[in-house]
Every structure is written in C-alpha cells, then in structure tokens.
Amino acid sequence: MAQTLTNTQQVGHLLTANRKAQGMTQAQAAARLGISQARLSELEQNPGRLTVDRLLVLVNLLGLELVLQSPTEKAAQTASDW
C-alpha cells in the first residue's frame, strides 16, 4: 500500500511499524544494518537524522520501496485506476 509522507515523524512510524510487522526486533534489524540497537532506536524516533544512504538500506531491509513522484503523476495514476 502506498503512503504519502509529509514529515519525518511519519517516516519513523512507517519504518517502525514495518519492522514490527515483520516480527523483527530493533536488535535484529540493527545487527543486519551494522549499527547498534540504540542507534536504530534513535533513528526511528528521530528519522530526520537518517542519511539518504541509511534510509535506502533500511527501506531495502524492510522489503519496502522508496518512490518519489509528483502530485500530478499521482493524480494521473489514481484516475487511471478507475
């Protein structure tokens, strides 16, 4: 399901929810990312501190896809779904 994100807190909530939905603890995810559990906790709570590189690795780890599109493209896609 696609989600429109408008602030960094939404990014953190989305990442945390997807990690938990996969039954993955912070410690497990952090180990796979090569960072400490405390650092992952900090990034989930304050995702504005994520680098783009780290965000892409985390998104990939969680089986998500990062898609950027203009509102115009989104509207056209929604209209074509009808």
Q: Where are the domains positioned within the chain?
A: 8-80
For the full predicted model, state whether its pTM sits above 0.85. no
Instruction: State residue 53's pLDDT score.
Output: 94
- 31-43 pLDDT, tens digit per residue, is 999 999 999 999 9
Instruction: State residue 78's pLDDT score.
Output: 62
Burial of 29 (0-12, 13-18, 19+ CB in 10 A): buried
Q: What is the pLDDT along the chain (82 residues), one digit of tens a residue?
A: 788 888 999 999 999 999 999 999 999 999 999 999 999 999 999 999 999 999 999 999 999 999 998 888 766 666 666 6
Burial of 73 (0-12, 13-18, 19+ CB in 10 A): exposed
Among residues 67, 53, 58, the alpha carbon closest in space to that of 19 is found at: 58
Q: What CA–CA distances, in Å, run from 11 to 40, 48, 79, 82?
A: 13, 9, 26, 29
CATH code reported for the domain at 8-80? 1.10.260.40
